[in-house]
Amino acid sequence: MFRPNFTITNKILNHIADISASREVILNAPLLPKWEVKLRKEAILKMTHHSTSIEGNRLTMEEVNRLLRGEDIAAWEKDKKEVLGYVKVLEYIDKLGEKGVDKITEDIILEIHRLNTRGILTDSEAGHYRKVEVAVVNGLGRVTFQPPKASQVPALMHDFVAWLNSKEAKELYTVLMSGIAHYEFVRIHPFVDGNGRTARALATLILYLHGFDTKRFFALDDYYNEERSRYYAALQTVDPQTINSTQWLEYFMEGVAVSMGRVKQAILDLSLDRLLKEERGQIYLNDRQMKILKYLQTNPRITISEIQKMFDKKVSRDTANRDLKPLLENKLVKRMGKGRGIYYELA
């Protein structure tokens, strides 16, 4: 079974302290549902833009936002497919959390890759381990990393996934486990393309399933996209012989600490806005209402008939309208269109 090689340094310990302090603020801050929805939507937008941008996607943050709102934008089809695919990955991660999944399997990783690369790679490549040799090259065409042979990938992935679900891994601080998994996945490079996006999605999944990012406000990728050269340089600090990932983990933990600090500050700023609370008090929403809001975080609109169908037991039209009423009154959603064309979107 895979065994990580690293040392807990003072830098890592300091980052853990900062991360833990920010996380306590994030989890315990009294936020209105409106602000929670806003922060989750922003996190989805940031993760989607930054994770695809790291690998050369040309869409700007605003273009990604417009695309997620359902608008048609002038852009390369590949760029649009990468963005829409990554949103599907984030939706899939949410569903795994809702189901209470506590074990990461190879099938889950393959599905993440398939969603990431659907319409970009062939059906025989999307969601399937590579059967050819690959190399990581820089902008000058020079090989900067030579991944393991294709014949080794199945065994390496089997050992890696066994470690992910081992007692040893689960006893680690969750962010350390996520960082180790990120590097080892990139090192194995199990797919012909889309390895980086899948690695970052896997790191996000680990944080979520292990209870670290339960509110889904945290965008793992924004820090790494700010200085892409530093991100790739950090990945290359790992000695290919010893696989000592200490320097990479110092960088990875730094990124999480900075990103968590930004979320903490945003939450503190929102918590200062007491006016809405004083006017209306806290808004309590039922499970169906929260599911409607969650759906609108990654979909531009919803109709009454879609609301009726989105639950295990189909609800009546009257029930769907009753669920919408407090969302409309508290300006969490707004009604658009007329007559039979009425639909609802986030306010």
Condensed to tens digits (0 to 9), the pLDDT of residues 171-201 reads 999 999 999 999 999 999 999 999 999 999 9
- Residue 135 and residue 131: Cα distance in Å, rounded? 13
Active site residue 189: yes
- Residue 249 and residue 36: Cα distance in Å, rounded? 30
Can you tell me the mean pLDDT for 9-20? 96
Residue 188, φ and ψ in degrees, nearest 5? -70, -35
- Residue 103 and residue 166: Cα distance in Å, rounded? 10
Q: Which of 20-29, 72-81, 114-123, 125-134 has the lowest mean pLDDT?
A: 20-29
Q: What is the mean pLDDT of the chain?
A: 88
Reading phi first (left if > 0) and then psi (alpha if -120 to 50, else beta), residue 141 is in left
Task: For 306-338, write each residue's pLDDT tens digit.
Answer: 998 887 677 888 888 888 988 888 888 899 998
pLDDT greater than 60 at residue 277: no
pLDDT at residue 243, rounded to an integer? 93
Neighbours of 250 (CB within 10 A): 20
Query: Which of 50, 113, 189, 210 is an active site residue?
Result: 189
- Residue 171 and residue 112: Cα distance in Å, rounded? 25
Task: For 238-249, write each residue's pLDDT tens digit.
Answer: 988 899 999 999
- Residue 117 and residue 31: Cα distance in Å, rounded? 36
Query: Can you list the domains of the chain with their CATH numbers?
Result: 10-270 (1.10.3290.10), 284-346 (1.10.10.10)
pLDDT at residue 31, rounded to an integer? 66
pLDDT at residue 42, rounded to an integer? 87
